[in-house]
Amino acid sequence: MENKNDHLPSSVPKCPSPSTSTDTQDLLKSLLTCSICLDLFRHPVSLECGHNFCAKCINSYWNSGVPGSQPPLCPECRRRCDRRQLVPDTRLQNLLENMNLLQQNADSTQKPRDVCNREAKQLVQVNSRKDLTLSLEVLDQCLNHPQAKNSPVCLISVQGEQRTGKSFLLNYLIRGLQGMSKDPQWMRRGSDLSEFQCEPGAKAITKGLWLWSQPFILQKDGRKVAVFLVDTEGTISLEQDKEMNAKLVAFSMLLSSHQILNVSRMVKETDLEYLEMCLHIAEEIGECFKMEPVQHLNLLVRDWFYPATFGKEAGQKHMIDVIQKISDRYPRIQKILKSKQACCYLLPFPGKKIPTSSNGNPEDMDPDFYHYLHDYITDVCKSSTQHVKRHSDGHILTGEELAENMKKLFSILQKKEFGYSSLFESVVTGLYNMRIIEAARKELEDFVKEQDSSTKSMFTSLKTLPGTMWTRLSTKKDTILNSLKETLKGPGKNQILNNFKEEIEMRVLDSYKSYKNRFCGHTAAVGGLLGAGVLGVATGGIMAVGAAATALTMEGVAVATGATVGATVVGGGVGAGVGAAVGLAGVEATEVMAKRKQKVPEEGEENPLLRDDE
């Protein structure tokens, strides 16, 4: 059978010369192109007429039912063909393989950054030992790109919980940065570039940290800015090492100048906890290089459902609610959210088709989602020239300067440990600390009940002065707190301890005040009774004085004082009244005596004894 490719050489040199001309490569490509798909042959086959096509293309053409495809005809010469006579063309297949070798050889003679494909490249890897590895080759290739090396740079990073559409968002940022200035329909046109990996399902796709290989060049007011995109591995997963992931996100923060925190439905406690933790690491490391952890923070809330208002204005209201709710628990986040560095945007649910789609076509989006996503991407892209990377002193960094900073910064980040554990370990530690605190709370309550029970009657109460009770309660409180210092675990144990300390100080104070009131009542009552003892004796003096002496043996100085004065007054009724009054005054006398040994809290006064020495 005649084949139109008989005039072609059966092969090209297996080790082609680097000097092979571009014209030769273009000629080969034209000869090895399928006329149906207009791409290089894939599994080429020959028809009886001698024309060649991809095996899949010719079969799809014949099955399509388009006019002229039946009975099976050659798309080029219209000659009738027999499906059974399709023959794999090994000669073309060999030519394709050798042409690929030719292309690879030609590429190897050029600088990598000159022929770098526009694609995502892995900048930071995570190995099996949970260690981070920085690719210096990728860092240099990207930030020292000829269009970025000596220019201001803006790096837009997307961070947040895994499987919340970070890569999906980045792919639309690619479309916006590439086509926004050229085509009003840029969202629908798609991109002619490869994109960040994005697939449906529950399994995390992005691992480590990925950087777009070449910059998008934007200009504003005559200034050229090189814009890069950064994709960060998702946070909050049981299998992840919390320390490693926090370091990874902190590095992403310090690398980027415009951070998008991508969250689902609402800003949750877990989002805030992770952000605060990463800010802590980024602050500590970035300070050495005059780099702020956040230059611009954009809170993007996906799948927002209630109230059904979306966009930037609704987002600002939600951010105000978040600020009010977190109070002082997250001081770093509070500082950023209250500044002009932060903004918030609410996106509606995209529709049923998008979560199960691998490419997220605009045709599958709900109209509201399409509208708000378009506005959001437009705003981020247009504002990127305003968010160039700079030092905390205002110095604008070029790509080359940022690369050198990040190399040194990463070296320190690798060596330093911050004491964060995995999420699973954090849950276990949290449950352990809850049990410890509950046991300490019960220990104090049992002690308070024991003291209350043992001093409930009048005479047992009079044996224990309020100052003595305060000493007992304070000593127990200090013993419990000292024990907790040794038993609590985790990086948040100090905060837990401080919160519990405030709680039991209030409990001890309340218990002391309750006992003091009871003691005063018993003292006044007994003083009055002893003063009224004159009713049984005409002069009333001798019996009351005797009772006063007895009271002194019971450490009831206040009782004795009241009784003595009551006894010396002529007339039982007068003695009872005066005895009761002076009995109360006697309590104050005991307070003065006790204060000489230990300061006891007074009503309406802040008590310095409740402050621990630690």
For 16-47, letters b (16+ CB in 10 Å) and e give beeebeeeeeeebeebbebeeeeebbeebbbb
Segment 513-537 mean pLDDT: 73
Segment 603-612 mean pLDDT: 37
For a pLDDT cut of 90, what percent of the chain falls above it? Answer: 28
Contact 358, 197 (CB under 8 A): no
In terms of average pLDDT, the best of 24-38, 116-130, 332-346 is 332-346
The predicted pLDDT at position 288 comes to: 85
The predicted pLDDT at position 376 comes to: 95
Segment 429-435 mean pLDDT: 78
Which tokens is 465 given?
């002065």
User: Could you tell me which residues are beta bridge partners of residue 161?
Assistant: 235
User: Could you tell me which residues are beta bridge partners of residue 152?
Assistant: 398
Give, in degrees to the nearest 5, the angle at Cα 131 between 127 and 132. 90
Q: Is the pLDDT of residue 129 over 80?
A: no
Q: CATH class for domain 26-105?
A: alpha beta
Torsion sign (Cα): 362, 364, 365, 371: positive
Model confidence at 178, pLDDT cuts 50, 70, 90, reads confident
Which residues, 6 or more positions from 6, have their beta carbon under 8 angstroms from its beta carbon?
A: none
Domain positions in the chain: 26-105, 120-415, 424-525
Which tokens is 421 given?
């554990």
Contact 301, 263 (CB under 8 A): yes
pLDDT digits 0-9 by tens, 274-329: 788 888 888 888 888 889 999 999 999 999 988 889 999 999 999 999 988 887 77
The predicted pLDDT at position 299 comes to: 93
The predicted pLDDT at position 25 comes to: 64
Q: Is the pLDDT of residue 139 over 90?
A: yes
* CATH code of the region 120-415: 3.40.50.300
For a pLDDT cut of 70, what percent of the chain falls above it? Answer: 70
Residue 187 CA to residue 292 CA, distance in Å, equals 33
Segment 538-564 mean pLDDT: 42
pLDDT digits 0-9 by tens, 391-405: 999 999 999 999 999
Q: Is the pLDDT of residue 559 over 70?
A: no
The predicted pLDDT at position 373 comes to: 94
pLDDT digits 0-9 by tens, 241-259: 777 878 888 899 999 999 9
Better-scored residue on pLDDT, 448 or 196: 448
Q: Is the pLDDT of residue 138 over 90?
A: yes
The Cβ of residue 190 has, within 10 Å, a number of other Cβ atoms equal to 16
The predicted pLDDT at position 596 comes to: 42
The predicted pLDDT at position 327 comes to: 72
Relative orientation angle of helices 557-567 and 493-531, to the nearest 10 degrees? 20
**Helix (H), strand (E), coil (C) string for 307-334:** CCCCEHHHHHHHHHHHHHHHCCCCHHHH
The predicted pLDDT at position 462 comes to: 79
| Rg for the chain, CA atoms, rounded | 41
Residue 530 CA to residue 544 CA, distance in Å, equals 6
The answer to which of 122-126, 218-222, 374-378 has the lowest mean pLDDT is 218-222
| 469: nearest Cα among 416, 529, 513, 504 | 513
What letter would DSSP give residue 125?
Answer: E
Residue 64 CA to residue 53 CA, distance in Å, equals 16
| 227: nearest Cα among 379, 375, 381 | 381
Model confidence at 544, pLDDT cuts 50, 70, 90, reads very low
Amino acid residing at 248: L
The predicted pLDDT at position 72 comes to: 82
Site of tokens 């991109």: 191
CA dihedral 103, 104, 108, 112 (to 10 degrees): 90
Segment 391-420 mean pLDDT: 88
Q: Is the pLDDT of residue 565 over 60?
A: no
Which tokens is 53 given?
């096509």
**Cis preceding-peptide flag for 307 (omega within 30 of 0):** yes
What letter would DSSP give residue 201?
Answer: S
Which tokens is 587 given?
């309590």
Better-scored residue on pLDDT, 420 or 279: 279
Which residues, 6 or more positions from 200, have their beta carbon under 8 angstroms from its beta carbon?
A: 355, 356, 357, 358
Relative orientation angle of helices 269-286 and 399-415, to the nearest 10 degrees? 100
Better-scored residue on pLDDT, 598 or 499: 499
Q: Is the pLDDT of residue 18 over 50?
A: no
In terms of average pLDDT, the best of 350-354, 509-513, 528-532, 551-555 is 509-513
| 282: nearest Cα among 256, 300, 263 | 256
Model confidence at 23, pLDDT cuts 50, 70, 90, reads low
Model confidence at 230, pLDDT cuts 50, 70, 90, reads very high
Burial zone of 409 (CB within 10 Å; 0-12 exposed, 13-18 middle, 19+ buried): buried
| 576: nearest Cα among 532, 545, 535 | 532
Q: Is the pLDDT of residue 530 over 80?
A: no
Relative orientation angle of helices 493-531 and 466-487, to the nearest 10 degrees? 170
* Average pLDDT across the chain, whole number: 76
Contact 101, 16 (CB under 8 A): yes
| 387: nearest Cα among 227, 169, 516 | 227
Segment 202-213 mean pLDDT: 71
Q: Is the pLDDT of residue 20 over 90?
A: no
Q: Is the pLDDT of residue 501 over 90?
A: yes
Relative orientation angle of helices 269-286 and 242-255, to the nearest 10 degrees? 60
Task: Spell out where 104-257 has E strands.
Answer: 120-126, 132-134, 153-160, 209-212, 216-220, 223-232
The predicted pLDDT at position 48 comes to: 86
